[in-house]
């Protein structure tokens, strides 16, 4: 009988090693040539995230992830102008700052809650300036020439490097170079181009108080020149359009109806306080201010009204940059109108959406004329408003828990970059009959909870 | 005689050590495992039309009172070596399971009280599944690993009406265990462990008919056994800052049906030594419609309804047996076992694909009262594109399984 058991064990050993085989994915470039890839764009392309440009943010930029997939189908090396620190450098209201991380913060009411906090609470401005302006041009030219903050027409502006240190740090001659000149140095066989966000976003981030939306003719003229230059040597590529920026967490996290009154006395005090103003408004035929128990629309400043104050309407947006403590403890939104720089009003939203549509018409036209893959980010981001599921996890435009956006509410986190990389890949595969594999989204880091 | 008893005891000890690590791997047909007798396994897993002694307790209690010996004990186990390879759609990603050896086992004892009346008891393992994927594999938000197992205890009575027909019935007491890990979409190493055990009841009814000497017919119905779990443990491992949203120790309720089977089989003795057999098994899988979890705390966030939408399926089996001499009987068989899963609701927790399998087996009779039964089952790899639509997780699955088994039968 011993022999039988030996046989039994032998058979076990034999089959435990056996693994079913499935044909492996075979990547191919199709009609495209990924040998030399150039990524042009703004902060999203540069890998800016959590309010700063920093090493791992750049590592997980969508162009860098995409280049990794190109490499499987003939793509070559891909270089980026890496920042010197993991803390990074961002440009904030109070000067240069580090990236944001998720942490515990105590507000003016003494409540401790989870939210974005600076990685470096007291950035030394000189030190950070040093990180930002130290030139890395000697190691260039770079394949990723995404520059945070740039608008379409900046690409063609000589001396951009003096105004924008994120370009200045990798421009050989910051005082004279144009960003488009970097493309010629790289001489790509394939490019991605994602521009136009800042042509509306810079205005929106300031509540429309400063800056302005780039007029469509300027956008179109710039884009004609940029795409013309990129394709001059026969490169093929992909062009992404502009998402509806009013759907990103920066504009959707603070609710318009966020003035919650739980005490009759507060309701009475506010109604009493605004009574004289309401008297004037009534005489002039405007919307009076009224408060009830429960959720009320915030009180905002509106310079277009003679009396300068009204309650915010549904569909209008309060920016994530609003100082939370002012809302909670300084009477902002109730006794004190929220300043205009923290609000996007209905007419401003219409102006942003009109411009975005015009830009996207131009981008679609360019994709057709130059036979480029069109990556429709505008429609794609809309699908995430109600949530999209990948491999059993739900991703949405919700701040922090949505899993796509970084802690600044504007830029994507690494998983968000993986999601849009896959969208680029789908468009490129379809246009060029290529067979690039998608990436596994959850293999990239999401927001780290403490 | 004395030495054979000692040998028998040794074997029991060996098999019991296997029992302590009892787990199953899926090799076909949802999470059902029909490896409950070595002779039956060798002949294509056909059981109803045979009078193979005490193992009739599982395959057809009706045949039990037809057994020739007065007393019969059977004991055995199989080793399931099965693995799955997964190729994720539109990616160059492949994953392989690292399934542990599955060891379904059985023990049956039966005795004829009168010429017409037999009683017996069986302990067997008709359901189970084990899938062990790497903790960081691409489907980790659906499942990292799962182990589901059930042990049935079945006291049985069988009555021979006449030489042509006998009937039998068994009461089933079932004990089930489940353990499942799946990752949560927060920091790496965030996951939930779900663990619980429960018990339930069911029954097993059979008729055995022998209209002429050469032909035997068996019909068996095994009822559904619904495993309902209340207050199972759910342990959530999440970052500290989320512990107020998701409490660490939670309780869950869920239920899992073990479907009913209707089996009809025929065996025909072509010559005195050569027999052929055929059987169909109709498995009432449609009871597995959805796997729902209800949690005691944070239910709004955690409760889930997960569609499975299994369908009733029919398995077709063929087999034959040849008696070489008084000491050796050899067997062979094959079957086609269509997957009860729905291609749009296919989860990596139970990788069940359409399966064609071949079986071989033999009986060796070293002495008058003792049979050693050996079986081997091999499934042909099938490759199927499946998707779990609610989780947007799709790809190609391929399985393979090799299942050697050994058992002994002792009668007097």
Tell me the C-alpha distance between A399 and A388, whole Å: 15
Judge whether residue B28 has pLDDT over 90: no
The confidence score (pLDDT) of residue A4 equals 60
Half-sphere exposure of A437 (CA within 13 A, CB side): 19
A263 part of contact set with chain B, CB < 8 Å: no
Quick one: pLDDT band at residue B113, thresholds 50, 70, 90? very high
Structural domain of A366 = 37-251+353-443
> Under a CB-based contact definition with an 8 Å cutoff, are residues A262 and A296 in contact?
no
Least reliable range by pLDDT among A6-15, A371-380, B7-16, B73-82:
B7-16
Tell me the C-alpha distance between A12 and B12, whole Å: 20
Quick one: pLDDT band at residue A446, thresholds 50, 70, 90? very high
Tell me the C-alpha distance between B371 and B194, whole Å: 42
Verify that A321 and A360 share a domain, yes or no: no
A106 part of contact set with chain B, CB < 8 Å: no
Instruction: Report pLDDT digits (tens) over A20-74.
Output: 899 999 999 999 999 999 999 999 999 999 999 999 999 999 999 999 999 999 9
Tell me the C-alpha distance between A447 and B240, whole Å: 14
Verify that A283 and A432 share a domain, yes or no: no
Mark which of A294, A324, A344 sits at the end of a domain: A344
Give mean pLDDT, residues A75-94.
95
Q: Count up the domains in chain A and report the number.
A: 2
**Would the CB atoms of A18 and B402 count as touching at under 8 Å?**
yes
Tell me the C-alpha distance between B285 and A220, whole Å: 61
* Three-class DSSP category at B10: helix
> Under a CB-based contact definition with an 8 Å cutoff, are residues A307 and A277 in contact?
yes
Quick one: pLDDT band at residue A12, thresholds 50, 70, 90? low
Mutate one of A112, A393, A421, A425 to test the B interface: name it (highest B CB count within 10 A).
A393
The confidence score (pLDDT) of residue B31 equals 85
> Under a CB-based contact definition with an 8 Å cutoff, are residues A95 and A129 in contact?
no
Give mean pLDDT, residues B372-382.
90
Mark which of A300, A323, A344 sits at the end of a domain: A344
The confidence score (pLDDT) of residue B232 equals 94
Give mean pLDDT, residues B147-170.
96
Judge whether residue B15 has pLDDT over 50: no
The confidence score (pLDDT) of residue B295 equals 93
The confidence score (pLDDT) of residue B382 equals 81
Report yes or no on A20 lying in a domain: no
The closest CB to that of A20, out of B85, B92, B101, belongs to: B85
Verify that A333 and A358 share a domain, yes or no: no
Tokens of A358: 């015009």
Verify that A419 and A338 share a domain, yes or no: no
Instruction: Report pLDDT digits (tens) over A401-433.
Output: 999 999 999 999 999 999 999 999 999 999 999
Residues sharing a CB contact under 8 Å with residue B205, sequence separation 6 or more, in sequence order: B61, B62, B167, B168, B169, B170, B220, B221, B222
Q: Mean pLDDT of all residues in chain A?
A: 94
Judge whether residue A17 has pLDDT over 50: no
Tell me the C-alpha distance between B26 and B37, whole Å: 18
**Would the CB atoms of B91 and A19 count as touching at under 8 Å?**
no
Verify that A279 and A238 share a domain, yes or no: no
Tell me the C-alpha distance between A132 and A116, whole Å: 22
Verify that A264 and A240 share a domain, yes or no: no
Least reliable range by pLDDT among A2-6, A357-361, B234-238:
A2-6
Phi first, then psi: give them for residue B325, nearest 5 degrees: -160, -165
Q: Find tokens 């140095």 and name the residue.
A: A185
Phi first, then psi: give them for residue A160, nearest 5 degrees: -55, -30
> Under a CB-based contact definition with an 8 Å cutoff, are residues A12 and B78 in contact?
no
Report yes or no on A13 lying in a domain: no
Q: What is the CATH number of domain B2-411?
A: 2.40.160.60
SS3 track for chain A: CHHHHHHHHHHHHHHHCCCCCCCCCCCECCCCCCCCEEEEECHHHHCCECCEECHHHHHCCHHHHHHHHHHHHCCCCCCCCCCCCCCCEEEECCEEECCEEEEEEECCCCCEEEEEEECCCCCCHHHHHHHHHCCCHHHCCCCECCCCCCCHHHHHCCCHHHHCHHHHCCCCCCCCCCHHHHHHHHCCCEEEEECCHHHHHHHHHCCCCCCCCCCHHHHHHHHHHHHHHHHCCCCEEEEECCCCHHHCHHHHCECCCCEEECCHHHHHHHHHHCHHHHHHHHHHCCCCCCCCCEEECCEEECCCCCCCEEECCCCCEECCCCCHHHHHHCCECCCECECHHHEECHHHHHHHHHHHHHHHHHHHHHHHHCCCEEECHHHHHHHCCCCEEECCEEEECCCCCCECECCCCCCECHHHHHHHHHHHHHHHHHHHCCECCECCHHHCCCCCCC
Q: Which of A378, A392, A381 is nearest to A419 (CA)?
A: A381
Q: Which residues of A touch B83 (CB under 8 A)?
A: 18-20
Give mean pLDDT, residues B224-228.
95
> Under a CB-based contact definition with an 8 Å cutoff, are residues B120 and B52 in contact?
no
Tell me the C-alpha distance between A248 and A16, whole Å: 51
Nearest chain B Cα distance for residue A328, angstroms: 23
Nearest chain A Cα distance for residue B38, angstroms: 14
Q: Which residues of B touch A390 (CB under 8 A)?
A: 392
The confidence score (pLDDT) of residue B18 equals 37
Residues sharing a CB contact under 8 Å with residue A187, sequence separation 6 or more, in sequence order: A36, A233
Chain A's closest residue to B7, CA to CA, is A1
B7 part of contact set with chain A, CB < 8 Å: yes
Quick one: pLDDT band at residue B6, thresholds 50, 70, 90? very low
Judge whether residue B216 has pLDDT over 70: yes
Tell me the C-alpha distance between A147 and A165, whole Å: 9
ipTM over 0.85? The verdict is yes
Quick one: pLDDT band at residue A15, thresholds 50, 70, 90? low
Phi first, then psi: give them for residue A128, nearest 5 degrees: -65, -35
SS3 track for B294-362: EECCCHHHHCEEEECCCCCEEEEEEEEEEECCCCEEEEEEEEEECCCCCCCECCCCCCCCCEEEEEEEE
Q: Which residues of B touch A393 (CB under 8 A)?
A: 141, 185
A400 part of contact set with chain B, CB < 8 Å: no
The confidence score (pLDDT) of residue B244 equals 83
Mark which of A344, A374, A396 sits at the end of a domain: A344
Verify that A380 and A439 share a domain, yes or no: yes
Q: Which residues of A touch B94 (CB under 8 A)?
A: 22, 24
Report yes or no on A4 lying in a domain: no
Give mean pLDDT, residues A176-187.
97
Phi first, then psi: give them for residue B356, nearest 5 degrees: -110, 135
Handedness of CA A409, A412, A414, A418 (dihedral sign): positive
Handedness of CA A321, A324, A330, A335 (dihedral sign): positive
Q: Provide, rounded to the nearest whole percent, the portion of chain A with pLDDT above 90.
A: 90
Report yes or no on A433 lying in a domain: yes
Verify that A69 and A169 share a domain, yes or no: yes
Tell me the C-alpha distance between A120 and A116, whole Å: 12
Tell me the C-alpha distance between B399 and A134, whole Å: 56
Judge whether residue B3 has pLDDT over 50: no
Q: What is the DSSP string of B264-293?
A: EEEEEESSSSEEEEEEEEEE-GGG--EEEE
Tell me the C-alpha distance between A412 and A249, whole Å: 10
> Under a CB-based contact definition with an 8 Å cutoff, are residues B379 and B399 in contact?
yes
Verify that A309 and A359 share a domain, yes or no: no
A387 part of contact set with chain B, CB < 8 Å: no
**Would the CB atoms of B185 and A437 count as touching at under 8 Å?**
no
The confidence score (pLDDT) of residue B20 equals 35
* Three-class DSSP category at B19: helix
Residues sharing a CB contact under 8 Å with residue A152, sequence separation 6 or more, in sequence order: A195, A196, A199, A214, A218, A219, A222, A223, A226
Quick one: pLDDT band at residue A113, thresholds 50, 70, 90? confident
Instruction: Report pLDDT digits (tens) over A201-260.
Output: 999 999 999 899 999 999 999 999 999 999 999 999 999 999 999 999 999 999 999 999
Peptide bond into A78 cis (omega under 30): no
Instruction: Report pLDDT digits (tens) over B64-83.
Output: 999 999 999 999 999 998 88
- Nearest 10 degrees: Cα torsion A250, A252, A253, A255: 140
Chain A's closest residue to B238, CA to CA, is A449
Tokens of A210: 């400063």
Q: Mean pLDDT of all residues in chain B?
A: 91
B245 part of contact set with chain A, CB < 8 Å: no
Half-sphere exposure of A205 (CA within 13 A, CB side): 15
**Would the CB atoms of A437 and B92 count as touching at under 8 Å?**
yes
Q: Which of B291, B261, B268, B142 is nearest to B210 (CA)?
A: B268
Cα A112–chain centre separation = 28
Q: Please give the C-alpha separations between residue B345 and each of A404, B310, B352, B394, B399, in angstroms, as whole numbers.
A: 26, 9, 12, 10, 18
Q: Which residues of B touch A445 (CB under 8 A)?
A: 188
Verify that A132 and A218 share a domain, yes or no: yes
Tell me the C-alpha distance between A429 and A434, whole Å: 4
Verify that A305 and A383 share a domain, yes or no: no
**Would the CB atoms of B87 and A24 count as touching at under 8 Å?**
yes
Q: Which of B51, B74, B409 is nearest to B206 (CA)?
A: B51
Q: Which residues of A touch B396 (CB under 8 A)?
A: 22
A101 part of contact set with chain B, CB < 8 Å: no
Listed by start position, the domains of chain B span: 2-411
Chain B's closest residue to A105, CA to CA, is B241
* Three-class DSSP category at B412: coil
The confidence score (pLDDT) of residue B55 equals 96
Verify that A232 and A326 share a domain, yes or no: no
Give mean pLDDT, residues B225-247.
92
A18 part of contact set with chain B, CB < 8 Å: yes
The confidence score (pLDDT) of residue A18 equals 67
């Amino acid at each position: 009988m011993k022999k039988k058991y030996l046989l039994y064990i032998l058979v076990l050993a034999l089959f435990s090693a056996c693994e079913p085989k499935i044909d492996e994915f075979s990547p191919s470039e199709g009609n495209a040539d990924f040998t030399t890839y150039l990524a042009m764009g703004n902060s999203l392309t540069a890998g800016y995230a959590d309010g700063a440009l920093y090493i791992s943010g750049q590592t997980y930029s969508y162009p860098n992830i995409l280049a990794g997939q190109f490499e499987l189908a003939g793509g070559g090396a891909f270089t980026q102008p890496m920042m010197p620190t993991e803390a990074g450098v961002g440009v904030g209201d109070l000067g240069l700052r580090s990236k944001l991380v998720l942490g515990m913060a105590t507000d003016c009411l003494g409540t401790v809650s989870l939210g974005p906090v600076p990685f470096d609470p007291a950035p030394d401005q000189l030190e950070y300036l040093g990180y930002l302006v130290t030139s890395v041009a000697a190691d260039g030219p770079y394949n990723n020439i995404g520059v945070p903050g740039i608008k379409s027409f900046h690409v063609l502006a000589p001396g951009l490097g003096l105004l924008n240190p994120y370009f200045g740090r990798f421009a050989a001659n910051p005082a004279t170079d144009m960003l488009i000149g970097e493309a010629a140095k790289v001489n790509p066989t394939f490019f991605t181009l994602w521009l136009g966000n800042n042509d509306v976003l810079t205005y929106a981030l300031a509540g429309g108080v400063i800056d302005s939306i780039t007029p469509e003719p300027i956008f179109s003229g710039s884009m004609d020149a940029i795409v013309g230059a990129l394709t001059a040597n026969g490169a093929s590529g992909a062009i992404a359009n502009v998402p509806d920026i009013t759907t990103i967490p920066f504009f959707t996290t603070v609710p318009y109806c966020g003035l919650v009154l739980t005490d009759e006395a507060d309701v009475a005090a506010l109604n009493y306080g605004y009574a004289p103003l309401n008297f004037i408004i009534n005489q002039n035929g405007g919307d009076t201010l009224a408060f009830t128990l429960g959720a009320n629309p915030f009180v905002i400043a509106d310079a277009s009204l003679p009396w300068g104050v009204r309650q915010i309407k549904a569909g209008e947006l309060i920016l994530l940059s609003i100082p939370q403590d002012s809302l909670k403890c300084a009477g902002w939104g109730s006794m004190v109108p929220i300043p205009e720089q923290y609000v996007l009003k209905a007419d401003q939203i219409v102006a942003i959406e009109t411009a975005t549509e015009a830009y996207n018409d131009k981008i679609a036209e360019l994709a057709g004329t130059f036979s480029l893959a069109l990556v429709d980010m505008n429609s794609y981001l809309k699908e995430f408003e109600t949530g999209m599921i990948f491999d059993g996890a739900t991703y949405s435009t919700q701040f922090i828990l949505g899993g796509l956006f970084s802690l600044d509410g504007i830029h994507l986190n690494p998983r968000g970059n993986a999601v849009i990389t896959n969208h680029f890949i789908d468009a490129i595969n379809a246009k060029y009959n290529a067979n690039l594999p998608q990436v596994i989204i959850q293999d990239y880091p999401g927001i780290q909870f403490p | 005689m004395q030495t054979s008893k000692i040998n028998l005891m040794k074997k029991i000890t060996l098999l019991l050590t296997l029992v302590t690590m009892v787990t199953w791997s899926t090799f076909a047909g949802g999470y059902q495992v029909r490896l409950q007798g070595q002779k039956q396994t060798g002949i294509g897993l056909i059981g109803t039309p045979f009078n193979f002694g005490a193992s009739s307790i599982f395959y057809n209690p009706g045949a039990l009172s037809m057994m020739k010996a007065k007393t019969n004990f059977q004991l055995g186990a199989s080793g399931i070596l099965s693995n799955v390879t997964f190729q994720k759609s539109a990616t160059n990603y492949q994953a392989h399971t690292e399934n542990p050896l599955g060891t379904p086992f059985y023990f049956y004892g039966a005795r004829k009280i009168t010429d017409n009346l037999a009683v017996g008891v069986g302990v067997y393992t008709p359901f189970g599944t084990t899938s062990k994927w790497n903790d960081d594999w691409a489907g980790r938000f659906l499942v990292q690993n799962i182990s589901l197992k059930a042990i049935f205890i079945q006291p049985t009575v069988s009555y021979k009406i006449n030489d042509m027909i006998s009937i039998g019935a068994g009461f089933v007491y079932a004990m089930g265990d489940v353990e499942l890990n799946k990752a949560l979409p927060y920091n790496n190493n965030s996951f939930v462990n779900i663990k619980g055990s429960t018990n339930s009841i069911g029954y097993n009814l059979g008729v055995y008919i022998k209209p002429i000497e050469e032909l035997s017919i068996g019909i068996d119905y095994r009822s559904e056994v619904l495993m309902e779990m209340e207050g199972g443990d759910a342990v959530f491992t999440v970052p500290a800052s989320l512990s107020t949203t998701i409490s660490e120790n939670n309780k869950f309720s869920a239920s899992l049906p073990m479907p009913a089977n209707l089996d009809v089989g025929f065996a025909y003795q072509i010559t005195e030594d050569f027999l052929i057999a055929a059987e169909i098994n109709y498995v009432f899988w449609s009871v597995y419609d959805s796997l729902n979890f209800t949690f005691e705390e944070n239910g709004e966030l955690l409760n889930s309804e997960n569609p499975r939408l299994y369908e009733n399926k029919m398995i077709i089996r063929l087999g034959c047996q040849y008696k070489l001499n008084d000491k050796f009987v050899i067997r062979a068989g094959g079957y086609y076992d269509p997957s009860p899963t729905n291609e749009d609701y296919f989860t990596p927790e139970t990788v069940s694909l359409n399966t064609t399998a071949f079986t071989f087996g033999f009986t060796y009779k070293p002495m008058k009262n003792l049979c050693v039964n050996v079986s081997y089952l091999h499934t042909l790899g099938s490759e199927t594109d499946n998707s779990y639509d609610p989780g947007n997780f799709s790809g190609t699955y391929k399985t393979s399984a090799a299942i050697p088994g050994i058992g002994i039968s002792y009668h007097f």
